[in-house]
Amino acid sequence: MNWIIPDNPPPNPDCFIILSYALKDKSTPTRPTRALIEFAAKLQQKFPNAKIIMSTGDNQKLGVSNAAVMAAYARSRGVPAANIIKEDRSLTTFENLLFSREIVRRRKLRQPCLITLDLHTRRAVATAKKMDWTGLYWFSVYSPGEPASGWKSIQTYSRATIFIYEILAIFYSEIKGWI
């Protein structure tokens, strides 16, 4: 089985949802998370009215949400602050999607598009489908790993550790009923 699933690009996106992979420290996204933001920043240039939801709370207990750090990084890459929405409550992929979907509905966005690390896309899309999220689009972004802060250091250390983590996370998500 090929782990990486093909992209499902939207024809006219009005929203990109970035699921953070981790922070290196209180002010720096890891290489995988930076790759996601940089990809979204390029897309946002093509679709200048599109909003970008930075999705993840303080899941590493750094005292700052991933969303806040991601938003600052996106602004440094030219994304206008008015186009950035911070979803800073989520601690899991399930919550990323749940809380981001609430924002999408509240703002009446029509074509949300997930932007995920390629090794994470299978689980993120399976979770969204289990939530009956229809009209879902996604892009997968490649990135090498890089150690993150705290316990996530092992998870994000390399492509191999990210892959192993994702396999384990699939099993855990099935047990929880998220996929």
- Please state the domain extents for the chain: 15-176
What pLDDT score does 135 carry?
85
Distance CA 107, CA 104 (A): 5
Q: Is the pLDDT of residue 134 over 70?
A: yes
Determine what percent of the chain is predicted with pLDDT higher than 70.
Answer: 99
What pLDDT score does 124 carry?
96
Q: What is the pLDDT of residues 10-65, one digit of tens each?
A: 999 999 999 988 999 999 999 999 999 999 999 999 999 999 999 999 989 999 99
Radius of gyration of the chain (CA): 15
Name the CATH topology of 15-176.
Rossmann fold (3.40.50)
Average pLDDT, the chain: 94
Torsion over CA: 72, 76, 79, 80 (sign): positive
Torsion over CA: 50, 6, 157, 19 (sign): positive
What pLDDT score does 74 carry?
97
Tokens of residue 68, six digits: 């806040």
Half-sphere exposure of 17 (CA within 13 A, CB side): 31
Q: What is the pLDDT of residues 54-79, one digit of tens each?
A: 999 998 999 999 999 999 999 999 99
SS3 at position 171: helix
Of 8, 12, 29, nearest to 20 by C-alpha is: 29
Q: What is the pLDDT of residues 73-114, one digit of tens each?
A: 999 999 999 999 999 999 999 999 999 999 999 999 999 999
What pLDDT score does 2 carry?
72
Q: Is the pLDDT of residue 1 over 70?
A: no
